[in-house]
Structure 1
Amino acid sequence: MSGFPPAQIIPPQVLLGAYAQGVFPMADQGELTWFSPLMRGVIPLDGGFHIPHGLRRVLKQQPFEVKWNTDFRGTMQGCAARDRTWIDGTILESYCLLHRLGYAHSVECHDAEGLQGGLYGVALGKCFFGESMFSRKTDASKIALVGLVEELRARGFLLLDTQWLTDHLRRFGGEEVPRDEYQRRLKIALGDQGTSFHPPVLGPGV
Structure 2
Amino acid sequence: MIKAVLFDLDGTLLDTNDLIYDSFCRAFKEVLDIELPKEEITLLYGKPLKTSLIKYTDNEDLLENLINSYRNYNKVYHDNMCRPFEGVKELLLALKERAIKIGIVTSKRKELAKRGLELGELIGYMDVIISPEDTIKHKPEGDPALKACEMLGVLPKEAIMVGDSPYDILCGKNAGCLTCGVEYTALQLSELIKIKPSYLIKKPLDLLELI
TM-score, length-scaled by structure 1 = 0.29
The structure richer in helix per residue is: 2
TM-score, length-scaled by structure 2 = 0.28
The structure richer in strand per residue is: 1
